Structure 1
Amino acid sequence: MSVSLLLACLWAVTATVIAMFPSRDKHWRVAYGLIAVGIPILGFVTYQNGPWLGLIVLAAGASILRWPLIYLWRWARRKAAR
């Protein structure tokens, strides 16, 4: 297993463990941190293993961080409707 895939798996396990604990802000601060760390890891996975594995890791990350993506989609639709 390449270093980039190991980092992606570690990121996913860390996100899952963090989600198990209660949070007052519904994990939004942690989500921002996971996004900031996950984007370079995604680029590293794509660089080392190709675009298909990069897309798989992107889909896995999107399934973990689905609420920030849903809110981003809603925001973009509101901006486009103006």
Structure 2
Amino acid sequence: MTGSLILACLWGLVANVAALGPRRMHWPAAWALIAAGVPILGWVTYQNGPWVGLVVLAGGLSVLRWPVRHALARLRRRPAD
């Protein structure tokens, strides 16, 4: 297992621990996880290829589903230019 995949697994573990925390900490933890997860995802994709990167991306999106839903809802409400 490469170092990037180990780090991605640790990211997933931290994400699950953050989900167990108090509700008021979920959004700050989500922003921190997004900030840390994007470079990790790039590293995983670089080291292991795009298919493994897509699997890790799907795992990250499943953990961070609420920020993704809110972002999509905001994009839908945005007026057309």
Give the TM-score normalised by the residue count of structure 1: 0.93
User: What secondary structure is seen at the aligned counterpart in 2 of 1:21?
Assistant: coil
Gaps of 5+ in 1: none
**Identity in percent:** 57
- RMSD, matched Cα: 1.3
**Aligned pairs, number:** 81
Counterpart-to-counterpart distance in 2, 1:56 and 1:21: 26
Structure 1 residue runs of 4+, over 6 Å off? none
Give the TM-score normalised by the residue count of structure 2: 0.94
Shift of 1:21: 1.6
- 2:43 maps to amino acid: F
User: What secondary structure is seen at the aligned counterpart in 1 of 2:9?
Assistant: helix
| Match of residue 53 from structure 1 | 52
